[in-house]
């Protein structure tokens, strides 16, 4: 007898209940969270008879190790019509536990949930954090406060929002699961993964560029100091300083527009790419569930109409795919805006090149200050080279996003 068998005895109530990596768990509830249907894997892993499952609240399988704040956050999002992915520790009837990554989405009259077995290292990080949340709740934190702590933790991990985290988590778990099953990731999903990695690299390049800008903020002041020492002969250097200050101001404005805040150019394209990835992987999870339902020979109670569940999931998966198509239009639009913004920056860099050349000319003609100006020229040389390299890299990464978007359009 295997422990996957419903009759397998539980010797240790706090041990993990196993289910196959290739299996997916499905359930559907009404708007109150009352279970209306499920698949055979759900019934078997939960360890309850069908007559105990159908009509019961979904919290029937809730594990006491789960923070209340996570469910508070989940329900708030679902009531707002937002599909949500979350790590959940569930409890079998015998007391044993099992982890899932749950994709929960609203339907017309309730919610559907498809769950896969999480196997990446991210799950352990989440488990540790959930333990901390449970302790805070035991110390008096209410569910809303606990949900706020969840969002704060997500930001501490480097994600700008929970949407960004759930997109990363779903893709990470799906990829890890696909590898361990010896399968090949669907080319459409691979394209989205490539785009999200490209956008992550863009952030790294943009962050380093802003550091480069900071490094040359002192150049105008140093030029003015040199000009004041040269008195009348320092006029050209003073003019160069003024021009440079103006360019630096324009570059600073570009940085704010490009990478700062929730409404910047980068944020728009990042959010579009991440949402597309989440929708694509959510659609893939539901397609897998549809196939599993269609291939099953298991007997279901009369309360579970398999044909209806397949129809429900099919309609939902098609809606996800339509949203993916719409999202690709957003990605294309933001990628064009992104490219225009980078071209603006390239014009500023060209202006830096002119300033550098003027500094070289003045350095050659003013022996008295040549050494000081030479130092400025060397600083500008180094910074400009780095900025140009990073801009070229950003353009290449944006091309990856645009090419992937075009390929996805042809695949869908």
- Chain segment 50-96, per-residue pLDDT in tens: 999 999 999 999 999 999 999 999 999 999 999 999 999 999 999 99
C-alpha distances out from residue 268 to 19, 59, 161, 199, 394, Å: 39, 37, 13, 11, 15
CATH fold of 25-159 reads Beta-Lactamase (3.30.450)
Average pLDDT over residues 239-263: 81
First to last CA, the chain: 44
Task: Report yes or no: 73 and 33 within 8 Å, Cβ to Cβ.
Answer: no
pLDDT at 2 over 50: no
Rounded percentage of the chain residues whose pLDDT exceeds 70: 94
Q: Identify the bridge partners of residue 98 per DSSP, sorted by sequence position.
A: 90
Exposure string for 169-195, b = 16+ CB within 10 A, e = fewer? bbbbbbbbbbeeeeeebbebbebbbbb
Query: What confidence category does residue 408 fall into, taking pLDDT thresholds of 50, 70 and 90?
Result: very high
Average pLDDT over residues 352-377: 71
Query: What confidence category does residue 258 fall into, taking pLDDT thresholds of 50, 70 and 90?
Result: confident
pLDDT at 400 over 60: yes
Query: What confidence category does residue 386 fall into, taking pLDDT thresholds of 50, 70 and 90?
Result: confident
Query: What confidence category does residue 254 fall into, taking pLDDT thresholds of 50, 70 and 90?
Result: confident
Task: Report yes or no: 105 and 282 within 8 Å, Cβ to Cβ.
Answer: yes
Query: What confidence category does residue 20 fall into, taking pLDDT thresholds of 50, 70 and 90?
Result: very high
Task: Report yes or no: 312 and 28 within 8 Å, Cβ to Cβ.
Answer: yes
pLDDT at position 6 is 47
State the Cα–Cα distance between residues 229 and 239, nearest whole angstrom: 15
Query: What confidence category does residue 325 fall into, taking pLDDT thresholds of 50, 70 and 90?
Result: very high
Average pLDDT over residues 154-180: 96
Task: Report yes or no: 248 and 216 within 8 Å, Cβ to Cβ.
Answer: yes
Least confident piece of the model among 20-29, 48-57, 81-90, 350-359: 350-359
* pLDDT tens digits, 99-154: 999 999 999 899 999 999 999 999 999 999 999 999 999 999 999 999 999 999 99
Average pLDDT over residues 23-28: 96
What stretches of 260-369 show up as alpha helix (H) in DSSP?
265-295, 306-365
pLDDT at 168 over 60: yes
pLDDT at 3 over 70: no
C-alpha distances out from residue 10 to 17, 60, 231, 352, Å: 9, 18, 90, 72
pLDDT at position 44 is 94
Query: Given 3-state DSSP classes, what are the helix, strand and coil percentages for the chain, each rounded to the nearest 5?
Result: 70, 10, 25
pLDDT at position 10 is 44
pLDDT at position 295 is 76
C-alpha distances out from residue 197 to 247, 273, 277, 282, 297, Å: 32, 10, 11, 18, 40
State the Cα–Cα distance between residues 4 and 18, nearest whole angstrom: 7
pLDDT at position 368 is 55
State the Cα–Cα distance between residues 400 and 409, nearest whole angstrom: 14
Average pLDDT over residues 323-339: 92
Task: Report yes or no: 117 and 19 within 8 Å, Cβ to Cβ.
Answer: yes
Query: Among candidates 166, 136, 139, 141, which has minimal Cα distance to 151?
Result: 166
pLDDT at 378 over 90: no
State the Cα–Cα distance between residues 31 and 34, nearest whole angstrom: 7
CA of residue 67 relative to chain centroid, distance: 23
Mean pLDDT of the chain: 88
Rounded percentage of the chain residues whose pLDDT exceeds 90: 60
pLDDT at position 12 is 53
Exposure string for 292-327, b = 16+ CB within 10 A, e = fewer? bbeeeeeebeeebeeeebbebbeebbebbbebbeeb
Average pLDDT over residues 203-207: 88
Exposure string for 89-103, b = 16+ CB within 10 A, e = fewer? bbbbbeebbbbbbbb
pLDDT at 296 over 80: no
Average pLDDT over residues 342-359: 80
pLDDT at position 9 is 46
């Amino acid at each position: 007898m295997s422990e996957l068998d419903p009759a397998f005895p539980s010797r240790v109530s706090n041990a993990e209940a196993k289910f196959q990596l290739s299996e997916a768990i499905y359930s559907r509830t009404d708007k109150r969270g009352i279970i209306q249907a499920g698949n055979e894997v759900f019934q078997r892993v939960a360890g309850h008879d069908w007559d105990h499952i159908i009509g019961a609240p979904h919290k029937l399988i809730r594990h006491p190790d789960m923070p209340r704040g996570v469910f508070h956050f989940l329900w708030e999002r679902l009531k707002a019509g937002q599909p949500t992915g979350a790590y959940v520790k569930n409890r079998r009837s015998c007391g044993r536990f099992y982890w899932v990554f749950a994709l929960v989405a609203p339907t017309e009259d309730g919610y559907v949930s498809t769950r896969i077995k999480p196997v990446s290292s991210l799950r352990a990080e989440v488990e540790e954090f959930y333990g901390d949340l449970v302790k805070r709740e035991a110390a008096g934190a209410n569910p809303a406060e606990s949900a706020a702590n969840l969002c704060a933790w997500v930001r501490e991990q480097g994600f700008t929002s929970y949407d960004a985290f759930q997109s990363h988590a779903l893709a990470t778990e799906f990829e890890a699961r696909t590898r361990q099953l010896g399968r090949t990731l669907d080319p459409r999903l691979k394209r989205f993964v490539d785009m999200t990695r490209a956008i992550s690299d863009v952030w790294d390049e943009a962050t380093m560029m802003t550091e480069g800008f900071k490094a040359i903020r002192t150049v105008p002041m140093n030029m003015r100091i040199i000009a004041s020492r040269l008195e009348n002969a320092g006029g050209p250097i003073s003019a160069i300083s003024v021009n440079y200050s103006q360019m630096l101001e324009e570059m600073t404005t570009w940085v704010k527009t490009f990478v700062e805040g929730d409404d910047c150019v980068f944020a728009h394209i990042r959010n579009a790419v991440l949402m597309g990835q989440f929708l694509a992987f959510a659609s893939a999870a539901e397609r897998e569930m549809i196939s599993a339902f269609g291939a099953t020979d298991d007997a279901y109670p009369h309360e579970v109409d398999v044909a209806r569940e397949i129809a429900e999931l099919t309609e939902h998966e098609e809606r996800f795919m339509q949203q993916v198509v719409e999202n690709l239009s957003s990605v294309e639009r933001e990628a064009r805006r992104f490219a225009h913004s980078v071209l603006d920056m390239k014009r500023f860099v060209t202006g830096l090149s002119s300033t550098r050349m003027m500094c070289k000319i003045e350095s050659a003609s003013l022996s008295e200050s040549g050494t000081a100006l030479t130092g400025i020229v060397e600083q500008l040389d180094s910074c400009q080279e780095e900025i140009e390299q990073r801009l070229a890299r950003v353009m290449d990464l944006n091309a990856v996003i645009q090419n992937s978007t075009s390929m996805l359009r042809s695949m869908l």
